[in-house]
Amino acid sequence: MLGGIGLASTPLWAASNATTAAYKYNLHYAPHLGMFRHHAGEDPIDQLNFMADQGFTAFEDNDMRNREVGLQEKMAVTMKQRGLRMGVFVAHQIYWQKPNLASGDAALRTEFLEYIKKAIPVAKRVNAKWMTVVPGHVDLRQNMAYQTAHVIESLKQASALLEPHGLVMVLEPLNFRNHPGLFLSESPQAYEICKAVDSPSCKILFDIYHQQIQEGNLIPNIEQCWDEIGYFQIGDNPGRKEPTTGEINYTNVFKYIHGRGYQGILGMEHGNFNSGKEGELAVIKAYQKVDQFL
């Protein structure tokens, strides 16, 4: 047995937990759909139940806004029943290869704001507080200062839509290797933008995987950005798999985050290092290992 995990041939979420208690994590780590499908099956509700049975207290789903309303509602009911907090979903169409928010184009800004408006009822339906925003590609024809001003103005207008609902968009800097040419790549840049927007509805999504590649110096940068960080995501480097498979000392990173009193969610936005049930068990074992920092 591994913290309540067995090697039964039937889905473990359906097995009795009368004699095995789920592992109690110190932080709110959030798996995503597909991470445990070999144990739980393909049904999203079964996967949520499996996550809860293993002691996870949160869940994130980048694709939530694109799911059928009926499924969103069923997932929300299950999460509430099982004590799973909803993490981020992606709020809008991301422009990976051409500028949108950085361009200052009025039509593209309007399009972005329409996505934000549509994301509000999704967030309410699934009890989400946070939604991911990526400002898109750089505009090579404009000075960076002008681009920054354009992005800030779009985010101010989006914040005005979100604030009355208590919702928060979290800006995600992405590394140059996986996503070359994007406007937002570093945590100090995101910090500067959030300070300029000056809204409780505009914060940073500090993706530890991306920032290890982009800038390193993880704990000092988290410390510098702390008052503007709204959400974390996880992935080890190289490989973007679970902690313990790469170079990041996640036990120390989590110890620092916990020591600051963080009560938010840490999204497990990574793949499984090994395939099948064995790989899924390894993910759970890895999180139990790096969570032992107290």
**Triad 158, 164, 167: Cα angle to 5°:** 65
* CA angle (68, 70, 73) in 5-degree steps: 110
Q: Is 60 a catalytic residue?
A: no
User: How far, in Å, CA of 150 to CA of 157, rounded?
Assistant: 11
Whose tokens are 């004590």? That residue is 83
Q: Which of the following is catalytic: 60, 228, 242, 269?
A: 269
CB 112 within 8 A of CB 154: yes
| 172 among known catalytic residues | yes
At which residue do the structure tokens 């590609």 appear? 137
- Gap between the Cα atoms of 173 and 177, Å rounded: 12
Q: Which residues, at least 6 apart from 272, have a Cβ–Cβ distance to it below 8 Å? A: 35, 241, 242, 279, 280, 282, 283
Distance CA 62, CA 87 (A): 9
User: Could you say which of 60, 172, 228, 242 is catalytic?
Assistant: 172
Positions marked catalytic? 172, 269
